[in-house]
Amino acid sequence: NLRELPVVGKTSIYTGIGQIFFTSILGFLFSKFLGFQTLHSLYLAIALTFSSTIVIVKLLSEKKDLGSLYGKISVGFLLVQDFVAVMILVVLSGMRFGELDFPSMVFVLVNALVFFAIILSLSRKVLPFIFDRFLGNSPELLFVSSLAWALGIASLVRAMGFSFEVGGFLAGLALSNLPEHLEVASKVRPLRDFFLAIFFIYLGSSLGVSFSLEIVLPVLAFSLFVLTIKPAVIMGIIGFLGYKKRTAFLPSLLSSQISEFSLIIVALGQSLGHLENSHVSIVVITGIITITISTYLVKHSEKIYKKFEDHLGIFEKVVTKEPDLEFSGELKDHVVIFGCHRTGKILTEYFLKNKISFIVVDFNPKVYEELTSRKIPVLFGDMADTDILERAQLEKSRVLISTVPDFLDNVELLEHIKKFSRKPLTIISSKTKTEAIRLYELGSDMVLVPEVVTGRYIKRILSLTKLKAFGIRKIGRANFVDLSKE
C-alpha cells in the first residue's frame, strides 16, 4: 500500500536503490569472474538483484509481521525493486519490435511513466469513489470488479506493447490504495494462490530448462551469492541508515532469493536472442534453490539472529535511530504489555481508567505513534530483543501480558524471567492448545488460546440466555455498543 510508505519512505527508497546499485555491480563482476560474456553477465546480474515480493509478503503475512518496522522496510524496498524491474521489462518489451536507440528508449520510458501516472491518479481519485459508492456494499461485486480491473489493465498494457506482468503490477498497485484493499485481498487470495502455482508452472515449462554438469558450478556459485552477498549488502545499507542490527538483519534474510521478475526478464532475454538456454536454466535452478532455502531461513529467522547476534555489531552504528523511539524512565510494580494492536488496546484503556502503572512494547510504527501522541509509556521494539526487555524493567514489574501468539518469543520471555528473584505473573496468548500446555510447563501463570476462549464465551452466553433470542440479542446489542466505542 503506497499510503504506508511515508512511515519508512526514505529508508525504503535508499535501501532499494542502494541494494540494486551495489548488488547488480557485484553480480556483474561475479558473472564476469565465472567466465560469462558481458551481455550475459548483465542479464545474470539483474536476475540476481531482485527479490521475490510474492514469497516475502507471504512469509511476512504468515508471521503477522507486515505491520512491524522491518516488515514495512522490506515491503517498501521491494516496491522500489519491482518498479525498477517493471521499467526493465518495459524496455525489453519495446525491443521486441526492433533494436532501440537511445531516443527511442527514452520515448518508451516516458510513455510508460505517463501511463503509470494516469493509473495511480485513477487509483487515488476515481477508483475509491466508484468502489465506495457502487461496489463497497456487495462482496460479490467487489470481487468481480477487482478481477475486471486487474484483467482489463493487464490487457490494455499488453495492447500498448508491454507485457501482461507490467499491467498486473500496476493494477495491483492501484487496488492497494483502496479503503477496501484488505477485503479485496481476502476475496482474491484463493484465486491468486491457485493461479500463482499455474504461473510458475507455465513459466518454468515455457523456458525449456535443461540440466547439465556445466551449469552446476554457476548455479551453486550464484545461489551462494544470493544467500550471502545480497543479504549482506541490504544489512549494510539499513545499518548505515541508522537502524539496529536486528532491524537490519531480518529484512536482509527475507531478501535471500531471486524474484519472479528475474524469471520473466531472462525469458524475455531468451526470446530476444540475448541469452541461451543454459543461462535461463542457471537462473531458474538458482531461483528454485534460493526460494526453497530462504523460506526455511525466514521461518527460523529469530533463532538464526540469536546465533549470530554477537557478530552483527559491525552493521550497527554507535548511535542509531531507534533509541530515540524508546521510553526512558523509572518503573516499579508496573504491568508490561507486549503487543498493543487489538487485545493490548483494550487493556491500555482499562489500565488508564484504573490508574494502573504500565508500559507497552510494540514493533508497529503506527501503534507507537498513536501511543506516544497520547503520552502513554511505550518502547519501540520487539519482545525478542533483550535490550528492550531490560528497558521495560521486567524485574520490577508485577504482571507481564503477551498478546503476541508467537511461541518461540513467549518461550524466550519465560526463560528470561526465570533468573529473577521475584518472578512477575505472566499472562500469555497462544495459537494452539499444544503450545499452551507447553507454556504452562515452562512456568506461565495463565495461557489463553483465542479459539478456546471464544468457545467458552459463547457457551456461557447460551447458558445464561437459555438459548432465548431476546437474551442473545440483548447481549449482542451491548457488545455492538462496546465495539463501537473501542
Q: Are residues 332 and 285 in the same domain?
A: no
Residue 325's pLDDT is what? 46
* Residue 256 is assigned to a structural domain of this protein: yes
* Residue 142 is assigned to a structural domain of this protein: yes
Q: Are residues 340 and 290 in the same domain?
A: no
Q: Are residues 331 and 290 in the same domain?
A: no
Query: Which of 264, 295, 315 lies at the terminal end of a domain, its last residue?
Result: 315
* Residue 463 is assigned to a structural domain of this protein: no
Q: Whole-structure pTM over 0.75, yes or no?
A: no
Query: Which of 265, 281, 315 lies at the terminal end of a domain, its last residue?
Result: 315
Q: Are residues 214 and 290 in the same domain?
A: yes
The answer to whether the CB of 241 falls within 8 A of the CB of 15 is yes
Q: Are residues 258 and 143 in the same domain?
A: yes
* Residue 387 is assigned to a structural domain of this protein: yes
Residue 328's pLDDT is what? 56
Q: Are residues 436 and 414 in the same domain?
A: yes
Residue 347's pLDDT is what? 85
Number of domains in the chain: 2
* Residue 270 is assigned to a structural domain of this protein: yes
CA-to-CA dists, residue 446 to 146, 342, 363, 395, angstroms: 44, 19, 24, 19
* Residue 479 is assigned to a structural domain of this protein: no
Q: Are residues 66 and 142 in the same domain?
A: yes
* Residue 75 is assigned to a structural domain of this protein: yes
Query: Which of 282, 315, 348 lies at the terminal end of a domain, its last residue?
Result: 315
pLDDT in tens, the chain (486 residues): 555 555 567 788 889 999 999 999 999 999 999 989 999 999 999 999 999 888 888 888 777 777 777 888 888 888 889 888 888 887 787 676 555 566 767 777 777 788 788 877 877 777 877 777 666 567 778 788 888 888 888 888 888 777 777 788 888 888 877 767 767 777 787 887 788 778 777 766 766 666 677 888 999 999 999 999 999 999 999 988 888 888 889 899 999 999 888 888 888 888 888 888 888 889 988 988 999 999 888 888 888 888 888 788 787 765 555 544 455 567 788 999 998 876 777 888 888 888 889 998 887 777 877 888 888 888 877 777 777 787 888 888 999 999 888 888 888 888 888 888 888 999 999 988 888 999 999 889 999 888 888 888 888 888 888 888 888 888 888 888 777 766
Where residue 389 falls (left for φ over 0; alpha for ψ -120 to 50; beta otherwise) is alpha
Q: What is the CATH number of the domain that holds 424?
A: 3.40.50.720
Q: Are residues 298 and 444 in the same domain?
A: no
Q: Are residues 200 and 240 in the same domain?
A: yes
* Residue 474 is assigned to a structural domain of this protein: no
Complete edge-to-edge strand list for the sheet that includes strand 335-338: 378-380, 358-362, 335-338, 399-402, 425-429, 446-448
How many other CB atoms are found less than 10 A from the CB of residue 470? 7
Q: Are residues 199 and 261 in the same domain?
A: yes
Q: Report the DSSP beta bridge partners of residue 326.
A: 379
Residue 332's pLDDT is what? 83
d(CA 367, CA 361): 10
In our burial notation (b when 16+ CB lie closer than 10 A, e otherwise), range 403-417 reads: bbbbbebbbbbbebb
Q: At what angle do helices 301-308 and 245-254 cross, to 10 degrees?
A: 130
Q: Are residues 273 and 332 in the same domain?
A: no
| Owning domain of residue 331 | 326-448
One-letter-per-residue 3-state SS of the chain: CHHHHHHHHHHHHHHHHHHHHHHHHHHHHHHHHCCCCHHHHHHHHHHHHCCCHHHHHHHHHHCCCCCCHHHHHHHHHHHHHHHHHHHHHHHHHHHHHCCCCHHHHHHHHHHHHHHHHHHHHHHHHHHHHHHHHHHCCCHHHHHHHHHHHHHHHHHHHHHCCCCHHHHHHHHHHHHCCCCCHHHHHHHHHHHHHHHHHHHHHHHHHHHCCCCCHHHHHHHHHHHHHHHHHHHHHHHHHHHHCCCCHHHHHHHHHHCCCCCHHHHHHHHHHHHCCCCCHHHHHHHHHHHHHHHHHHHHHHHCHHHHHHHHHHHCHHHCCCCCCHHHHECCCCCCCCEEEECCCCHHHHHHHHHHHCCCCEEEEECCHHHHHHHHHCCCCEEECCCCCHHHHHHCCHHHCCEEEECCCCHHHHHHHHHHHCCCCCCCEEEEECCCHHHHHHHHHCCCCEEECHHHHHHHHHHHHHHHHCCCHHHHHHHHHHHHHHHHHC
Q: Are residues 311 and 331 in the same domain?
A: no
Q: What is the CATH number of the domain that holds 227?
A: 1.20.1530.20
